[in-house]
Chains A and B, each alone.
Chain A
Amino acid sequence: MLGFLHFAGISADTLSAPQLPARDFQDSVFIGPIGPVDPTEPIQKIRKTWKTRKIQKSAAYEPITPYIRRSPSPKQHHPIDRQERSEPMKIIISNSSEKPIYEQIVTQIKNAILSGELAAGDPLPSLRFLAKELRVSIISTKRAYEELEKEGYIESIQGKGSFVTGRNRELMREEQFRKIEACLSSAVEMAQISEISLRELIEVLETLYEDTESKTDV
């Protein structure tokens, strides 16, 4: 039997090898044997132990995910080292949070864009698909996407979907800073009116930061 295997170009080693490259005439890919292989068994019996996966011929190596594909970006924009393989973006909705559902979606997508997990030009999931998967109303996903578009993070192309804009992340961070500055200046005004010291104000800021970090980031 081993002789037959040699003839077929398969050695005992390749029986336990990882995925062999698919050829044009193949419609399934050898993934590997299930369990230990006894090379003295007839090849038909061994074949039954192989795991194969049916493939689309043109998509032999395409990762089968409808989600966002992470495009490589310069290292300095990736604070967290991620794998090359595309992973679906994580969006979690908390029903018990005080934050409206659309806002939770906006925050998480915004964070993904600002952290570089979503790169410029990356497609976003379709409104309806997102609503179905997250089990939320499509009105909330629409609202979230409109909010993101209003703030310049994404753009929607009729008939094609929504995509992350090509705007520089630095620019977006600057915008965030400007908004924070505006909020903080009103806080400072109020503090001065009530004669609250800077130290007390900083304490409040620290507490707020800790509060939001301890909850899930939704």
Chain B
Amino acid sequence: MEEQKIKSYETGTPDAILEIRNLTKHYPDFTLDHINLTLPSGCIMGVMGENGAGKSTAIKAVLGLIHPDEGEIKMFGSPLSEANPSLKEKLGLVLDGLNLPAAMNAGQAGRMMAGLYKSWDASRYTEYLTRFSINPQKKIQDYSRGMRMKLSLAIALSHRARLLILDEPTSGLDPMIREEILDILREFILDEDCSVLISSHIISDLEKTADYAAFLHKGKLVLCEEKDRLLEEYRILKGSREELQRLDEKLTFTIVGTRENSFGAEALIHLTGRPDGNYTGFGRELGETVTIEQPSLEQILLYLASERS
């Protein structure tokens, strides 16, 4: 059960748009175990984990779709239990599946949404439709997967939402669309009162956009940290098995996990011991024997996951 570290490099603490405290939910074969997360305003938090790790469960709890056994969720400062209907105005959702009638088209969907949301911005919606090249007359049943997602996004962004929650928005989509979506998310948080919570198992996407990286594994929160800081504090060492074993003696880092093959070995290490967090030039201490690389977020999480299995 890891405590999230929000180091305040921020001048003044921003308000938390979303606070999750001790969220617990029991299922017959799975338990979401005391999750603690805080999403400050103006940030993108990427929640990662394998299929079945609990990402969707956590999001359902946040949306009030399931009732937690323990814990509390606060959105925009007030608990979910006290939520009033105006809350949905500030929440933009992109969930699995476009839950609109198949025979409807984008234009009709827009008119329907205008009735649902007080703050519906029709001109913005039309702008997004044009930007995504969605034909307002085309029926939803004829949409490709990417277009469905784009329509969900267009709707979510057209009612002045402050919190955007996306559950696996990019799985199954080609790299071009994924990059488009990431660009839109970056635009969304140009406004510092807005935040994004995005869950995905495509870690490379989150590595590009997220400010905070949270990792769920088997229902537990393994870590939640500033993504850039995470990437600064880990290294991959590659060398022969003996070379890596010899390194064990130096204690300026801890070895998180190793992988060996017939021709060598590789280890993920977590750098510790520098109070200012400055690890540039770490390699010089080790000398020329081992190869040192910057790990990708995906590698870090793979090691952490296998270490805990």
Chain A interface (Cβ < 8 Å from any Cβ of B): 96-103, 128-129, 131-132, 135-140, 142-143, 146, 156
Contacts and interface: CB of A to CB of B under 8 A. Distances in A.
A66 to B, nearest CB: 13
A128 B211 contact: no
A138 B43 contact: yes
A100 B232 contact: yes
B210 interface: yes
6 contacts: A98-B280, A98-B281, A100-B278, A129-B190, A137-B210, A138-B43
A100 B232 CA distance: 6
B227 interface: yes
A96 B11 CA distance: 28
Contacts, number: 54
A132 B187 contact: yes
B10 interface: yes
Contacts of A103: 278, 280
B204 to A, nearest CB: 11
A137 B187 contact: no
A98 B294 contact: yes
Interface string B184-206: 00110110100000000000000
A143 B208 CA distance: 18
A131 to B, nearest CB: 8
B228 A128 contact: no
A137 B294 contact: no
B79 interface: no
Q: Which residue of A128, A138, A143 has the most chain B CB atoms within 10 A of its CB atom?
A: A138
A210 to B, nearest CB: 16
A138 B211 contact: yes
B42 interface: yes
B190 A100 contact: no
A139 B211 contact: yes
Interface string B207-235: 01111000000000000001111001000
A97 B279 CA distance: 12
B9 A146 contact: yes
A103 B10 CA distance: 16
A100 B186 contact: no
B228 A101 contact: yes
A197 B278 CA distance: 29
A100 B228 contact: yes
A132 B208 CA distance: 11
B187 A136 contact: no
Contacts of A136: 228
B71 interface: no
Contacts of B10: 139, 142
A101 B210 CA distance: 14
A182 B225 CA distance: 33
